[in-house]
């Protein structure tokens, strides 16, 4: 991948594993220094070492995005130590496949807390710093379930639809200095959903409902992430980009 992000710094929440890890590595391979957030200190450091192996700097911060005080403190530290952050990806979240009638108050609140409230905490903190520095690109990771929903995905779909609505509102509010766009992935094989996709019947159903006939591999998200973090997205804000093998069509 060419060094299209040379001289820039990118921050990735949930950057210790899955799609977040893939985006963090893509940022580094494109020439950016990287800040990664996550809750698993061991996984964070492993990803940080992978980033550093590309020759880029990496600051690893243990952060629970559902705690606004942690988010605010970590964002302030990241901006200070990195000398500013040019692009931030919010990809931390949780998954819940459960019938709506079986979803408890606690289940609902856990999903909303991680996927939507935590997302808002990050957006608010990052936006404050980006507006102060006069520029920035915020890229929120939602899901194609936020666009089409699905049986037994009520809480998850609602949280991701909320991410899309939040992002579109912020795109209006923070223009023109800060752009806000959304990546809406479909099924990618990660440690978060492997317990589902490792079930042959579920994998067959997912592949059968995908025009390209397979699930995605996390590194396939990298080129899109690099484009959104770089000059290629300078005239984009409020966009929702699906990368799902054709499940969502324009």
CA distances to 13, 156, 169 from 114, rounded to whole Å, are 12, 10, 20
Dist CA 169 CA 18 (whole Å): 27
In the set 37, 156, 188, 189, the catalytic residue is 156
Give the list of residues 6+ apart from residue 240 with CB closer than 8 angstroms, or none.
142, 147, 164, 167, 168, 181, 182, 184
Whether 250 shows a pLDDT value over 80: the answer reads no
Length, in residues, of the chain? 250
Mean pLDDT, range 214-235, rounded to an integer? 96
Asked if residue 244 lies in contact with residue 187, where contact means CB atoms within 8 angstroms, the answer is yes
The angle formed by the CA atoms of residues 188, 189 and 190, to the nearest 5 degrees, is 105
pLDDT interval class at 2 (50, 70, 90):
low
Instruction: Judge whether residue 1 has pLDDT over 70.
Output: no
For the chain, percent of residues with pLDDT exceeding 70: 98
- Supply the pLDDT for residue 191: 82
Residues 86-138: tens digit of each pLDDT: 999 999 889 899 999 999 999 999 999 999 999 999 999 999 999 999 999 99
**Candidates 3.30.360.10, 3.40.50.300, 3.40.50.720, 3.40.1390.30; CATH matching 9-240:** 3.40.50.720
**In which band, very low, low, confident or very high, does the pLDDT at 249 lie, cut at 50, 70 and 90?**
low
Average pLDDT over every residue of 204-220: 93
Kindly list the domain boundaries of the chain, sorted by start residue: 9-240
pLDDT score, position 45: 95
Average pLDDT, the chain: 95
pTM score, whole prediction: 0.94
Region 60-80 average pLDDT = 98
Catalytic residue check, 189: no
């Amino acid at each position: 991948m060419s060094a299209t992000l040379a001289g820039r710094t990118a921050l990735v929440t949930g950057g210790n594993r899955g799609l977040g890890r893939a985006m963090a590595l893509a940022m580094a391979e494109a020439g950016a220094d990287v800040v990664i957030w996550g809750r698993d200190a061991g996984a964070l450091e492993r990803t940080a070492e992978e980033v550093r192996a590309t020759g880029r700097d990496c600051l690893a911060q243990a952060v629970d995005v559902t705690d606004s005080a942690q988010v605010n403190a970590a964002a302030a530290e990241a901006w200070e130590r990195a000398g500013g952050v040019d692009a931030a990806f919010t990809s931390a979240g949780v998954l819940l496949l459960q019938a709506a009638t079986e979803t408890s108050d606690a289940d609902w609140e856990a999903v909303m807390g991680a996927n939507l409230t935590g997302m808002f905490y990050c957006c608010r903190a990052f936006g404050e710093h980006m507006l102060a520095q006069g520029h920035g690109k915020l890229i929120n990771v939602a899901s194609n379930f936020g666009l089409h929903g699905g049986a037994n995905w009520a809480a998850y779909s609602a949280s991701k639809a909320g991410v899309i609505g939040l992002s579109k509102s912020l795109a209006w509010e923070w223009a023109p200095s800060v752009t806000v766009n959304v990546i809406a992935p479909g099924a990618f094989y990660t440690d978060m959903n492997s317990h589902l996709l490792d079930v042959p019947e579920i994998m067959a159903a997912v592949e059968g409902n995908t025009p390209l006939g397979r699930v995605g591999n996390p590194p396939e998200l990298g080129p899109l992430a690099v484009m959104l973090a770089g000059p290629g997205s300078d005239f984009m804000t409020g966009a929702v980009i699906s990368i799902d093998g054709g499940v969502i069509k324009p």
